[in-house]
Amino acid sequence: MVGESTVQKGLQDVVALESRITFIDGKQGRLIYRGYDIRDLAAQSTFEEVAYLLWYGRLPTAAQLTELRTTLGGLRTLPPEAAAIVDRMPKNANPMDVLRTAVSALAMFEPGETKTGPSSIGGAQRLTAALPTILGQFHRRRAGLPKLRARPELSHAAYLLYALLDTEPSPLDVNAIDVALILHADHELNASTFAARVTASTLSDLYSAVTSAIGTLKGPLHGGANERVMELLDEIKTPDRAESVVHARLAKHERIMGFGHRVYRVEDPRATILREWSRKIGEERKDIHYYDLLRAVELVVMKEKGLYPNVDLYSGSIYTLLGVPHDLFTPIFAASRVSGWTAHVLEEYDDLRLIRPTSAYVGPTDQRYVPIDERS
Ligand code: CMC
């Protein structure tokens, strides 16, 4: 009956499917990939190990890890036709638009068997390897940097930094990015992963699913929040101004980016780890002003709203200190989350059921059709 159903706005607390990939304990502040605590993975593993874990459900042996690294290194070069499309994108384009369009285009030049069903693990690895290349190729052209080389000897984290900055990154910088990539790799049924699974659930292909996910990640309530955090810090300038600037924003009913979460009721464990990395990179660069500003903002937001930081609060300060332009923050998120999106798409293909919820209709039902020349 019209208007009688109960609506869970934003699908909050709705359990839409079973998954073996990621568990979030929102009350204890724990994040677990395939049974492993994110704190252990961030401290001891690498992005490639985590990607293997997400895709295959177990940590790799040394030989399996070497094989995956070789595979990813060999998949970095785009087919010439796809590279030409990236080269034609306007230099002032939003990098997330570039990524979404390039992934969509790449599908047309890839073998069909890598796109759906269990063998789309090939597509998962191709996309994971290719995203830094797409970003690097686009950014280097707009920034006037030398052409990108595939550098198969570099880890995923080192290649991402090299692709974006054209530098030989220090081990500490690579470690910082590697940790950020590990922390962003998956997060249960977040909006972009859900979008990917909805697309895959129609038996559409992996590239379409990842294209849907990139478009969904772009929004400031999801992946786009860390860029906005840096805008806030630029406005605050000194820690003593944190209170007045945050108050002014709250008075206008604006959200403070980098705070709050749909699932965590305590601090997001990813924020805890990234806070330490923000301090570490700041100390190494002898510039901890972002860290100090963020600590000041944290105190005000906790006092005023009782909200805890999320993953987006500290990541932007790390990327900025490493020299990454702000509009590449969300694309870096995508370059990590693609591993999680594709793991979920593989899981969806394995246990497929069309995702098609229903809505409570609240519009009219008995309108009389008025011919067009009688309408006012
Ligand atoms: N600043 C100010 N108020 C907030 C914030 C915030 N960051 N987050 C939540 N609130 C308030 C909100 O205004 C609402 O208040 P009221 O009930 O008085 O209207 C109340 O808290 C509940 O908010 P909600 O939007 O119903 O809660 P939600 O579960 O839908 O929100 C969220 C989750 C992440 C969208 C939200 O906390 C938010 O907008 N945060 C800022 C954006 C952000 O940092 N996003 C990154 C999320 S983590 C990365 C990721 O997983 O993508």
Radius of gyration of the CA atoms of the chain, in A:
22
The per-residue pLDDT for 222 is 87
Question: Same domain, yes or no, for 210 and 237?
Answer: no
Please tell me whether residues 170 and 292 are part of one structural domain: no
Q: Is 257 in the pocket of ligand 1 (CB under 6 A)?
A: yes
Q: Do 99 and 216 share a structural domain?
A: yes
Please identify which of the residues 312, 327, 366, 373 carries the catalytic annotation: 312
Residue 358 domain flag? no
Cα–Cα distance for residue pair 306/301, rounded to 1 Å: 7
Residue 296 Cβ < 6 Å to ligand 1: no
- Position 2 scores a pLDDT of 52
In the reported structure, the alpha carbon of residue 260 is separated from the centroid of ligand 1 by a whole-number distance in angstroms of 5
Q: How far is the CA of 262 from the centre of ligand 1 (A)?
A: 7
Predicted TM-score (pTM) of the model is 0.94
Q: Is the CB of 300 under 6 A from ligand 1?
A: no
Q: Is residue 277 part of a domain?
A: yes
- Please tell me whether residues 211 and 243 are part of one structural domain: no
Residue 194 and residue 188: Cα distance in Å, rounded? 9
Residue 3 pLDDT: 53
Question: Residue 173 sits in which domain range?
Answer: 18-221+325-350
Say how far apart CA 63 and CA 160 lie, in whole Å. Answer: 23
pLDDT of residue 224: 84
* Residue 27 and residue 128 in one domain: yes
Q: Are 70 and 187 in a shared domain? A: yes
Handedness of CA 35, 39, 40, 46 (dihedral sign): positive
User: Is the CB–ligand 1 distance for residue 221 below 6 Å?
Assistant: yes
Instruction: Please tell me the predicted confidence (pLDDT) of residue 332.
Output: 97
What is the residue with the minimal CA distance to atom 36 of ligand 1? Answer: 260
Token code pair at residue 293: 């500003």
Residue-wise pLDDT for 214-232, tens only, equals 999 999 888 888 999 999 9
Is 261 noted as a catalytic residue in this protein? yes
Gap between the Cα atoms of 13 and 288, Å rounded:
38
- If one counts the domains in the chain, the total is 2
Do 161 and 248 have their domain in common?
A: no
The answer to the question of residue 357 being in a domain is no
Clarify whether residues 192 and 277 are in a common domain: no
Best CA proximity match to 22, nearest among 157, 180, 190, 178: 190
pLDDT tens digit sequence for 43-83: 999 999 999 999 999 999 999 999 999 999 999 999 999 99
Report how far residue 359's alpha carbon sits from residue 185's, in angstroms, rounded to the nearest whole number.
Answer: 31
Residue 270 counted as domain residue: yes
Q: From ligand 1's centre to the CA of 265, what distance in Å?
A: 12
The two tokens of residue 21 are: 């990939």
4 found inside a domain: no
Q: Output the domain CATH number for residue 196.
A: 1.10.580.10
174 and 271 belong to one structural domain: no
Indicate which CATH number applies to the domain containing 277: 1.10.230.10
Q: What is the pLDDT along the chain (376 residues), one digit of tens a residue?
A: 455 668 889 898 889 999 999 999 999 999 999 999 999 999 999 999 999 999 999 999 999 999 999 999 999 999 999 999 999 999 999 999 999 999 999 999 988 887 888 889 999 999 999 999 999 999 999 999 999 999 999 999 999 999 999 999 999 999 999 999 999 999 999 999 999 999 999 999 999 999 999 999 999 888 888 999 999 999 999 999 999 999 999 999 999 999 999 889 999 999 999 999 999 999 999 999 999 999 999 999 999 999 999 999 999 999 999 999 999 999 999 999 999 999 999 999 999 999 999 999 999 999 999 999 999 9
The pLDDT of residue 156: 97
In a domain, 365, yes or no: no
H-type alpha helices, the chain: 38-44, 47-56, 62-74, 80-87, 95-106, 121-143, 156-165, 171-184, 191-200, 206-217, 225-236, 242-251, 269-284, 289-305, 312-322, 329-350
Three-state SS at 23: strand
Q: Look at the block and give the residue holding tokens 């749909």.
A: 262
- Note whether 112 and 24 are same-domain residues: yes
Assess contact for 82 and 137: CB atoms under 8 A: no
Verify that 230 and 167 share a domain, yes or no. Answer: no
Kindly state whether residues 140 and 45 are assigned to the same domain: yes
